[in-house]
Amino acid sequence: MLLDSAHAIITEQIAALRLLHQGAQQRLTTLENDVRATERQLDELVVQQRFAAERGLPAAATLTERERQARIAHEARLREHNTLRRAIRQLDQLVRQIDMSSATLRGASEGEPADPWVQALRAQVIMGREEERSRLAREVHDGPAQVLANALMGLERSQTLLAEGRHDRLSDLLHQMNEAAREGLREVRGFIADLRPGKLEEQGLVSALQEYVRRYRDTVNAAVSFETEPLPRLPTEAEIVLYRIVQESLQNARKHARGAPVHVSLHARQGRLTLTIRDEGPGFDPREVARRAGRESWGLMSMRERADLIGAHYIVTSRPGHGTEVAVSLPIRV
């Protein structure tokens, strides 16, 4: 009876939290639509303002002010969206923890205690999938979606130039659109390669990372070195995790290291495989970041959880003015 009463209390708590989560999720969906709408409006105003400024039209000053106001509105919506998304993630974690307690109590009352580790692992897998979907949505928005939006605006401008008989300007614009479309195609192909790195399955981790670092270096135009040696093939899940950690680390360096050199090394010594990604960027105070966010950042947490799943030791070292280093150590059989 005691366990049944405890289970009833937890069930009531979960129901209330899920109701709160549902309302927050609905608000997040509304904010996502608002962010997209304000972004489209801002893009259109940027194009209109540039067009008016290039031709010295009287509307240029008005469009500049409208662009400024639209940018303020967009950034406000984006900040609210990001804050709410972080809060929902924390709420998700709380619900999962309480749900695990409920499952444990339910199993205990039935004489079969539930394994909290199994529950946690299942939750990690689910959240990992959701985080990957969110990442893919952001990359599609920032890459292919932007290319298509720019192409659409270019086509609309081309129709105007054609109607005005300004064929010389039309030729220049079509050339620009051609180059942009080629760049977009390269981005899409790189996007597909990142989703399913064929070399990882065919030739192993070293070859896949060499290919990824080369494409990253060409795309970002950053100084990235990769130091390694011939290594034995690892279990598939270990190679995937290490590959994704390099991906996440380089993307973090792209955002925060401001073009500073990055060094990637992969070595096997005395039965342990060591992966290190070090950038020479501005660095940060991990405790301060955790204090502001209320937890470790999701990118770092994602890498930590991935490493835990394959039994690897993961550590991030950073301080302001001294860059950032991500290190992963995994026991292997040589």
> Are 131 and 225 in a shared domain?
no
> Are 173 and 232 in a shared domain?
no
Q: What whole-number distance in Å separates Cα of residue 280 and Cα of residue 261?
A: 6
Tokens linked to 10: 């937890």
> Are 215 and 325 in a shared domain?
yes
Q: What is the DSSP letter of 196?
A: S
Q: What whole-number distance in Å separates Cα of residue 299 and Cα of residue 45?
A: 33
* Residue 200 maps to a domain: no
Q: What whole-number distance in Å separates Cα of residue 91 and Cα of residue 168?
A: 57
Q: What is the DSSP letter of 142?
A: I
Number of domains the chain is built from: 3
Is 143 in contact with 136 (CB distance < 8 Å)? Answer: no
| Domain C-terminal end among 57, 91, 114 | 114
| Domain C-terminal end among 161, 195, 229 | 195
In the block, which residue shows the tokens 């086509």? 155
> Are 174 and 213 in a shared domain?
no
Tokens linked to 129: 């999938």
| Dihedral-angle region of residue 166 (phi above 0 means left; psi in -120 to 50 means alpha; beta otherwise) | beta
Write down the pLDDT at residue 274: 94
> Are 293 and 175 in a shared domain?
no
> Are 161 and 229 in a shared domain?
no
> Are 154 and 224 in a shared domain?
no
Write down the pLDDT at residue 113: 47
Which residues on neighbouring strands pair with residue 225, listed in sequence order? 263
Q: What whole-number distance in Å separates Cα of residue 93 and Cα of residue 232?
A: 37
Which CATH number belongs to the domain containing residue 220 in this structure? Answer: 3.30.565.10
* Residue 65 maps to a domain: yes
> Are 324 and 209 in a shared domain?
yes
Could you list the pLDDT tens digit for every one of the 334 residues in the chain? 777 777 777 778 888 888 888 888 889 888 888 888 888 888 888 888 888 888 888 888 898 999 899 989 988 988 898 888 888 878 877 777 676 666 655 554 444 445 554 555 555 555 566 666 666 676 676 667 777 777 778 888 888 888 888 887 888 888 888 887 877 777 777 666 666 666 677 788 999 899 889 888 887 778 899 999 888 888 888 888 899 899 889 988 888 877 789 999 999 988 899 999 999 888 887 776 655 544 446 567 778 878 887 888 999 998 888 889 999 999 887 5
For residue 187, the enclosing domain spans 127-195
Cα-flanking dihedrals φ and ψ of residue 327, to 5°? -125, 135
* Residue 122 maps to a domain: no
> Are 216 and 250 in a shared domain?
yes
Write down the pLDDT at residue 55: 82
3 state SS of 268: strand
- Give the residue ranges of DSSP H helices in the chain: 2-54, 60-109, 116-140, 146-164, 167-195, 198-203, 205-220, 236-256, 286-293, 298-309
* Residue 121 maps to a domain: no
pTM: 0.50
| Domain C-terminal end among 92, 114, 136 | 114
Q: What is the DSSP letter of 233?
A: P
* Residue 30 maps to a domain: yes
> Are 157 and 236 in a shared domain?
no
What does each C-alpha distance from 328 to 246, 308, 331 come to in angstroms? 10, 10, 10
* Residue 282 maps to a domain: yes
> Are 214 and 322 in a shared domain?
yes
- If you write DSSP's letter for every residue of 35-84 in order, what string do you get? HHHHHHHHHHHHHHHHHHHHTT-TTHHHHHHHHHHHHHHHHHHHHHHHHH
* Residue 119 maps to a domain: no
Write down the pLDDT at residue 134: 66
* Residue 138 maps to a domain: yes
> Are 187 and 260 in a shared domain?
no
Write down the pLDDT at residue 112: 47
Q: What whole-number distance in Å separates Cα of residue 124 and Cα of residue 307?
A: 12
